[in-house]
Structure 1
Amino acid sequence: MNILLRGLGVLATVGTISILAFSLPSGGEARGDGGGDALPRLTHKNWQQECASCHLAYPPSMLPKASWRRVMGGLDQHFGENASLDPVTQADILRFLEANAADAGTSQMGRRVMRGMGANDAPLRITETRWFVRKHDEVPRATWSRKSVGSAANCAACHRQAEQGVFDEDTVRIPK
């Protein structure tokens, strides 16, 4: 009887651990230690097609909802370019961005981005967030102006797996 009870206890423990392990998000999200900056792979046809046609389709969890509203509301003057979209496509992308924004509560990365940000803060640029500044504080200002980098907004210049949602320090390669 003792052996049977121990066996059932082991099975219950293994089963519980397995359920917990397989229900955790992958990459840095699962670590929860702030060290890994891997994001769940998000797909959205219009977001990928329209935003990534000019630059990295920035992960929605890098800005709060209010910021995405500002960005999408000013597409006719999108950082010096006219990136206007038809109203249906624009509204579709905005819904996606808001649903996955830093303050939507859907990712660990979003929670880290929101730390120290006020409820009414709506930075227009990811590079203006405290999270970004803190994560890049050791990067010399001159690095951003290198021709091979272009600006702090060019994540993919140094984060070689940015398009896959990987922004951790282990994969950074700063170009010369």
Structure 2
Amino acid sequence: MSLLSITGVALSSNDESNNALFSWFKKTKTGIDPVESQRYIEECGSCHFPYQPGLLPATSWETITNNLDDHFGENAELSESDLNTLRNFLLNNAAGRSNYGLPNKIMAAQGDRPLPLRITEMRYFLHEHSELPQRMVQDNPKVKSFSNCDSCHQSAKQGLYDEHDVTIPGFGHWDD
């Protein structure tokens, strides 16, 4: 009984060490962890949307970072130092290694199927975007591709991909 009392006192304490220790539990776990690596934003976000690492599993990120000389048709090679920094960031925050809901849904939906290198080929992504006609995305000059997340998901950079908060340029609010 005394162990429970001590634990209760420790958990109810508001001192700084307990706040740091239990901040993991207090953090909102909806959506996906927003990108906080300035280096990643500078290196990767200078060419395309800085995709959150939780949108792909570590295996996919490992393959991508090992083949930057042919990064989807472009040479995106980095210095060894930058490569190591970005690889660590991507692998440590990949789907399956996150406490956020969306990366866990992405991994659960993939099941034991092969892991693609493109976010747009993940089973969860395909399911969530299956009702969108080509004219709204690929044929839409304001969107162009499903890979331009922030064209329709205005809060994508903050890691929020709520299906009820989608506005497709030229078409307005999307309601499935």
1:97 and 2:99 aligned: no
Which residue does 2:59 correspond to in 1?
Answer: 66
Q: Alignment partner for residue 129 of structure 1, among 92, 99, 122? A: 122
Q: Alignment partner for residue 133 of structure 2, among 128, 140, 145? A: 140
Deviation for aligned residue 1:42? 3.6
1:164 and 2:164 aligned: no
Deviation for aligned residue 1:170? 2.6
Q: TM-score, normalised by structure 2?
A: 0.76
Distance 2:60 2:33 in 1: 21
Same amino acid, percent of matched pairs: 34
Q: Structure 1: give runs of 5+ residues left out of the alignment.
A: 1-11, 31-37
Q: Structure 2: give runs of 5+ residues left out of the alignment.
A: 1-8, 14-18, 171-176
Which residue does 2:148 correspond to in 1?
Answer: 154
Letter of the 2:26 partner, please give it: L
Distance 2:132 2:83 in 1: 34
Which residue does 1:81 correspond to in 2?
Answer: 74
Deviation for aligned residue 1:23? 3.1
CA offset digits 1:74-112 (Å, max 9, x no partner): 211111211111111011101111111002143221110
Per mean C-alpha deviation after superposition, the further-off stretch among 103-112 and 69-78 is 103-112
Distance 1:59 1:132 in 2: 14
Question: What RMSD in Å do the two structures reach over aligned CA positions?
Answer: 2.4
Q: Alignment partner for residue 25 of structure 2, among 8, 23, 31? A: 23
Q: TM-score, normalised by structure 1?
A: 0.76
Letter of the 1:155 partner, please give it: C
